[in-house]
Structure 1
Amino acid sequence: MKKILINARKEDYENLLPLFEGVYHVIVHADGVYQVKVFVPDSDLDAFIERIKPAIDMRYRENLIEVLSPDFVISPYLKRAEEKTKTPEKTPIEELLDTTKPYQKFDAGKVVLTSIAGIIALTGLFLNNVAIIIGAMLLSPILGPIYGFAINMAIGKARDGMRSIGVLAGLLACVFALSALTTFALNLVTPLAITSEILSRTEVSPIYIFMAVLLGFASVLALARGMSDLIAGVAIAAALLPPTAVMGIALAMMHPYLLPSTVLVLENVIGMMAGALIATLTLRIGPREYYEQVAARRFITRTVLLIVVLAAILLALSMVLTPLV
């Protein structure tokens, strides 16, 4: 159950009043502003916001819409209303956008956490220990930027979407540089063995990009539906963190494998971006206003074309490199 608090001027309140029919609500009039408290089932929230938002002129500071989640509500009427609703639950656009904000800028916490995860993954790769590599995936905050990219592009906020990709590129660059420097330094002290876990992440194949599309789709679907981000985050990290660490190893001591490992990482990134965008289209995530919808479609079309071109290049490289590795 959600509680919606609406402040509206008299003019806007008159537009809103017909929309409250059949919805449990309480109205208070104070200082020329109407305050309306509305309770709706979770599954009806997005549709209700869709109805009331056009009726309020949000240019006025008196007008606002606030959504809260009460710990519990005791009301037989609301309980019956919630039991009767059959609408599939849909997370409001505003809530989705709010969850992407932390992934649009660098902060020390993300860099440190990703760097630690990269070192742990590097250790697991050289020890040929799958358990250690999985432990590194649990720490890595790489899922957020891909999710932020997909949601913001679907809403038409291309600049915020590209910021998220910039954060992802920066985090992967940290893992790459740290892995290369650590490998170079350790190799000066003691010879390092090339394990099967390392070699397995230098193999390229066109199938990887299609697997990455499915992974990106499933991850955004899970997050948008309010499912746990732990499993999705581990899956994303599995596709990006160890291969990026292998890129660093290849730069330091396995030069012939640098290109294949780089292609593998790019395949995973491009594939997951494509899958994430497909998920937003499947879930019909988009802006509410018509002019914003037009802008969003334009941005998505351009992004899809760019992803298709990059994917075609990577597929061609994969087919060329496959017999060589």
Structure 2
Amino acid sequence: MKKIVVHVREDGHEKIEEVLEGLHYTISLVQDIYQITIYTPEENLDDLIEKIQAVLDLRYNENIIEVSTPEFVISSLLKRAEKKVEKKEEKTPVEKLLDTVKDYGTLDLEKLSLTSIAGLVALSGLLLDNQTIIIGAMLLSPIMGPIYGFSVYAALGRIENAMRCLGVLAALLLGVLVLSAIASFLINLVIPLTMTDEIATRLVVNPIYTIMAVLLGFAAVVAFNRGTSEVIAGVAIAAAIIPPTVVAGLVLVLQPMSLITTALLVAGQVVGLIAGALVAVTVLKIKPRDTRDQNIARRYMTWSVAMIVLLIVLLLWISWLMWS
């Protein structure tokens, strides 16, 4: 159950009431501002917000739409309404999505620290040939955020925000690469390092890795959109991208001739994850409310998909040549 409170000027409340015809709501007048309160089943929230927003002139500061979730509501009327509501495809409101991803386009010390620590833990797991440690390192990494943020912003046509998310992703991965290279160099001065099986498996380019990344990106974005914890949904993405990036830093010190192979593997994983994320937001029908904004978003999405498809085809071709 959701609670919607609409604050509207006196000259606009009649249009709101027309939209709410047939629904139960209360209305009060406070200092020339009408306050309309509606309770609605969550399945109807997005459609109702869209109808209200279509007739509410948000250019006026007094006009506000406020949505909240009450702890509980006791009402026989609302109980009957919930029973009558048609089961619809679950859909997260655009405003909530924007609020969820607003921090993913900003690089801060916390993100950088967590990703760097995850990289160092993964490095220790790779050197010890311990898969459990490698997987455990993924719980620390916030890599999921920028990829999810990019896909949502791209779907909504906010290309500047989307590019900021890609910038954050690049900075985080660069930090892991540099830190793992420095750590490998320092450790190698004291204890000669050798290539373990866990490292060796990430020195082989295989087109299947890119396909796997597409599936992981799709699954993680769908899970995250449905309210799954970022830590849980992000483990799959981090597991696909952090270890290869760490290996790239390690071979930079121990085996520079393998750097091209590891770079291709990392690139394939990144592009695959982004492709899967874009497919997910398309399937989830994430788009702006305004028709004009939808046209702009469609244009940006088409451009983004075309670029990703081109990169995937190129990487798969190169991977196939090197694999075969």
TM-score interval for Structure 1 and Structure 2 normalised by the shorter chain: over 0.9
Task: Point out the more displaced range, 27-36 or 314-323.
Answer: 314-323
Matched, 1:80 2:56: no
- Shift in Å, 1:88: 2.8
Match of 1:297 in 2: 298
Q: What is the one-letter code of the residue matched to 1:19? A: V
Match of 1:48 in 2: 48
Matched, 1:166 2:167: yes
Aligned residue pair count: 323
Q: What is the one-letter code of the residue matched to 1:120? A: V
- Shift in Å, 1:109: 0.6
Query: CA RMSD, aligned part only?
Result: 1.1
Deviations 1:234-283 (A, max 9, x none): 10000011110000001111112211111111111101111111111111
Contact 1:44/1:89 (<8 A) preserved: no
Match of 2:247 in 1: 246
Contact 1:145/1:168 (<8 A) preserved: yes
- Shift in Å, 1:118: 0.6
Match of 1:68 in 2: 68
Deviations 1:47-74 (A, max 9, x none): 1111110100100000010111111111
Taking every aligned residue pair, what percent have the same amino acid on both sides? 50
Indicate the SS of the match to 1:11.
coil
Change (3 A) 1:230 1:83: farther
- Shift in Å, 1:290: 0.8
Match of 1:38 in 2: 38
Q: What is the one-letter code of the residue matched to 1:11? A: D
For structure 2, which runs of at least 5 residues remain unmatched after alignment? none
TM-score with structure 2 setting the length: 0.97
For structure 1, which runs of at least 5 residues remain unmatched after alignment? none
CA distance in structure 2 between the partners assigned to 1:7 and 1:186 by the alignment: 62
CA distance in structure 2 between the partners assigned to 1:195 and 1:24 by the alignment: 67
- Shift in Å, 1:97: 1.0
Q: What is the one-letter code of the residue matched to 2:273? A: M
Deviations 1:66-124 (A, max 9, x none): 11111111112112212221223211011011111111101111111111111000000
Match of 1:201 in 2: 202
Match of 1:95 in 2: 96
Task: Point out the more displaced range, 19-28 or 222-231.
Answer: 222-231
Q: What is the one-letter code of the residue matched to 1:283? A: L
CA distance in structure 1 between the partners assigned to 2:151 and 2:268 by the alignment: 17
TM-score with structure 1 setting the length: 0.97
CA distance in structure 2 between the partners assigned to 1:39 and 1:258 by the alignment: 58
Contact 2:43/2:88 (<8 A) preserved: yes
Contact 2:142/2:231 (<8 A) preserved: no
